[in-house]
Amino acid sequence: MTLSSARLDRFARHIVLPEVGGAGQVRLAESRVAIIGLGGIGSPALQYLAASGIGRLALVDDDIVDVSNLQRQTIFTTRDVGYGKAVSARRWLANFDDALQVDVSDARITPENAASLIAGADLVLDGTDNFATRLAVSDACVAAGIPLLSAAVGRFQGQVGAWAGHLPQEACYRCFVGDAFDAEDCDTCADDGMLGAMAGWVGSFAAMQAVKVLLAGVSTLGAPGWSRLHILDGLEPGMRTIRIAPDPACKACAASD
């Protein structure tokens, strides 16, 4: 792939970075990222991934826009209230950069349809708000050999993890949380509250990690950091990183090693 003069101008600030360069920008343009969940994390992540020049995006969310979302879900406006998030997000992308290829689905992701919804992706970014969906996405990624970034946020804390359970000696998301959370039983921001800017920090950090994953082997931006969980604290503020060991008994990834 070669970039047109218009695309070279648009991404000039990327291309002059030695850690990205022209080859890196071409790689981004050739990449397909599936974003699962277009809420507080998916919204800012989508904005920065689109701005980075990811060539193709798959958007998956079965929810509709509610007025309470606008405090943190930055791609939506009051005119979107009552409309599907996936369709509204595609409309935002069309206004932002009509050269992007966008696929949308308003299906609720389940263990039965997860594989088809992420098919063809070079990377999946999961910003959903319940364990059942996250585990369904993780298991599908392991089976398909697709790397996964999972991100979560609540109140003043966030997490972003990089998982490649299909690779030897690397953990998957199920290794991290185990099998006890396949039910949809986790707390929500409606119950606990969330600072909108905290969601923005987590989503933009997840987007930066996504670029790093996609450019691995092409640029010098850094290693993907598989099996590492970054914990973001908005009150201190600060961040710490821990490594998650693969679970030898994991029913998703142990058999794939």
- Residues marked active site are found at 189
Q: What whole-number distance in Å separates Cα of residue 32 and Cα of residue 51?
A: 14
Which two three-digit tokens encode residue 31? 């990449």
H helices present in 5-153, as ranges = 5-10, 12-15, 21-30, 42-52, 85-96, 114-118, 131-144
Local structure of residue 98 (DSSP, 8 states): T
Tell the burial category of 66 from Cβ atoms under 10 Å away from its Cβ (0-12, 13-18, 19+). middle
Q: By the 8 A CB rule, do 139 and 174 touch?
A: yes
Adjacent-strand bridge partners of 197: none
CA triplet 96, 203, 196: central angle to 5 degrees?
A: 95
How do 228-233 and 238-243 pair as beta strands? Answer: antiparallel
Q: Which of 168, 121, 169 is nearest to 148 (CA)?
A: 121
Report the first-to-last Cα separation within the chain, whole angstroms.
34
In sequence order, what DSSP letters do the residues of 141-206 get, joined into one string? Answer: HHHHT--EEEEEEEBTEEEEEEE-TTSTT---HHHHH-STT-SS----HHHH-B-HHHHHHHHHHH
Q: Which residues 6+ apart lie within 8 Å of 237 measured at CB?
A: none
